[in-house]
Amino acid sequence: MKRALFTLAILLFIFNLIDSSLALSDYQRGVLDGLNRGWNMSQRYDQAKTGNIVPYNQAVSEYNAWIQAVFGINESLMLQPFAASANPKTYSISKTFTPIHSIDASWNQSKSLLPEPDAYGMINGYPAETYYSIGPALANF
């Protein structure tokens, strides 16, 4: 009987320790609350970027009130609501500029560093084909 009471007392003591260790401190509750609010605001922000701005704008005032209660008046932490006229812009591709790479068979605007042949097809007295193949070696010969 004494052994059963002693075991029961030890179990109650252990459960009491476990219960208090599972409780969150004020700091931990604050961090968890901040993470939850930030996650909810990010989800509403994503909805606002797709065009549904009403839930985000409603949540901004609640979020700003919570920030002001925790950190005081700090304009750098406050969120701004979306303007009602802010509609998402559709993605468009401009056709005024074309690629200048030879890989995609478009015209190439890059300038060559090699000299251009004259009207007779000669560069420094050599035929252009010869100059382009061994010209740099001839320049120092």
Interval 54-113: pLDDT, tens: 888 888 888 888 888 888 887 777 777 777 654 556 655 555 555 555 565 555 556 667
The most distant pair of C-alpha atoms in the chain lies apart, rounded to whole Å, by 119
Distance of CA 39 to the CA centre of its chain: 16
Query: How far is residue 53's CA from residue 44's CA, in Å, rounded to a whole number?
Result: 8
Confidence of residue 50 (pLDDT cuts 50, 70, 90): confident
Q: pLDDT averaged over the chain?
A: 75
Per-residue pLDDT, 17? 61
Give percent of the chain above pLDDT 70: 66
Please return the burial class of 39, using the count of CB atoms within 10 Å of its CB with bins 0-12, 13-18 and 19+.
exposed
Query: What stretch of H or E contains 62?
Result: helix 54-71
Provide the pLDDT for residue 84: 65
